[in-house]
Structure 1
Amino acid sequence: MALHVETRKLTVAEFHRMEFDDNDTHLYELLDGELVKKEASTPEHQLLVRDLAFAMHSFAKQQPLDEVIFAPVDVFLDEYNSPQPDLVYVDKTKADLITNDGIVGVPTLVVEVISPSPVYRDRVTKKALYERFGVQAYWLVDPADEYVEIFTLVEGQCQLLSAASLEEGQLTSNVLTSLPLELKNLFA
């Protein structure tokens, strides 16, 4: 007979009351009630996030009230989910989601830059989480392979809209339709 041990899910409120050692350099996020420790990002990762944020911010400035926010920022999806995506795009119809505590609700677009250790988390766990909560677009950027995948929500399912590697040029998104993503500039 197998023994089934029930583990209690941690809530967002409990997560935010937790105290961490001042010398702890990790970031934490809450995924389906489980506390997940993230390693500090590499300089390559941060430079890539910066370049993406700059391109997205330039686009957002042309759209009144659209905003781009980069990590670390809490995205409160529900009582048990508070991921910290690398970049979050919130269009003007959702501007009220942005609060002093973080983003409370479902953003328009989320970008995750894959780090070496949590590949499964970004490719599977977070993709499923964003799909479940109805994030309109999910960009997955792989700096190791110089590859970008753009997923879009179609009838509640996260489907691959487009993908390209450095050699293939540029991508566009269904959310940021007039922002061509030049891969040679991104991975330069």
Structure 2
Amino acid sequence: MALHVETRKLTVAEFHRMEFDDNDTHLYELLDGELVKKKAPTPKHQLILSELYDQIKAFVKQQQIGYVLFAPVDVFLDDYNSPQPDLVFVDKTKADLITNDGIVGVPTLVVEVISPSSVYRDRVTKKALYERFGVPEYWLVDPADEYVEIFTLVDGQYQLLSAASLEEGQLTSNVLTGLTLDLKSLFA
């Protein structure tokens, strides 16, 4: 007979009351009530994120369609989920989601830059989480393969909308219509 031990889920409120050592260089997020410890991103990760932010921010500002934020920023999806995506876009119709504490509700677009230690979490766990909460578009940026995938929500499930690498493909976004990413600059 197998013994099943139920572990209690941590709430967002409990998570935000937690104290972490000042010398702790890890980042933490709450996924389905479980505290997830992440390593600080590598310089390559940050350079890619910075370039992606610059490109998307310029487009969003020129189009005057919303707001772009980058990690670390809390996204409060419910009482048990507070992920920290690498980049978040909130369209101007949802501007009230942006508060002093973080983004409270479902953003319009979420981007994760995959690190060697986050492949499963980004490709499976977070993808399923964002899908479940109805984030309209989810981007995965893979620095190792210099590849970007854009998933769009169709009838409650993510479908691959477009994908591109330095060698081939073209990216299309339903959320940021007309955006052209410079992948050479992104992965330089």
TM (norm. structure 1) is 0.98
- Asked whether the 8 Å contact 1:68–1:87 carries over to 2, the reply is yes
- Asked whether the 8 Å contact 1:170–1:182 carries over to 2, the reply is no
Report what 2:97 is aligned to.
97
Residue identity over aligned pairs, in percent, reads 84
1:60-104 Cα offsets, whole Å, 9 max, x none, are 112336000000000000000000000000001110000000000
Query: Is 2:13 the partner of 1:10?
Result: no
Report what 2:160 is aligned to.
160
Separation in structure 1 between the aligned mates of residue 172 and residue 161 of structure 2, nearest angstrom: 9
Q: Which amino acid aligns with 1:23?
A: N
Query: Is 2:69 the partner of 1:51?
Result: no
Stretch deviating more after TM superposition (175-184 or 95-104)? 175-184
Report what 2:33 is aligned to.
33
Secondary structure, aligned partner of 1:152: strand
1:182 deviates by 2.2
Separation in structure 2 between the aligned mates of residue 150 and residue 118 of structure 1, nearest angstrom: 18
Q: Which amino acid aligns with 1:120?
A: Y
- After TM superposition, the structure 1 = structure 2 runs for residues 129-168 of structure 1, keeping only pairs within 5 Å, are 129-168=129-168
Secondary structure, aligned partner of 2:130: helix
CA RMSD for the aligned pairs?
A: 0.9
1:4-50 Cα offsets, whole Å, 9 max, x none, are 00000000000000000010000000000000001000000000000
Separation in structure 1 between the aligned mates of residue 179 and residue 185 of structure 2, nearest angstrom: 13
Report what 1:73 is aligned to.
73
Secondary structure, aligned partner of 1:80: coil
1:169 deviates by 5.2
Separation in structure 1 between the aligned mates of residue 50 and residue 157 of structure 2, nearest angstrom: 29
Structure 1 ranges of 4+ moved more than 4 A: none
TM (norm. structure 2) is 0.98
Structure 2 unpaired stretches of 5+: none
Secondary structure, aligned partner of 1:171: coil
Structure 1 unpaired stretches of 5+: none
Aligned length: 188
Separation in structure 2 between the aligned mates of residue 151 and residue 65 of structure 1, nearest angstrom: 20
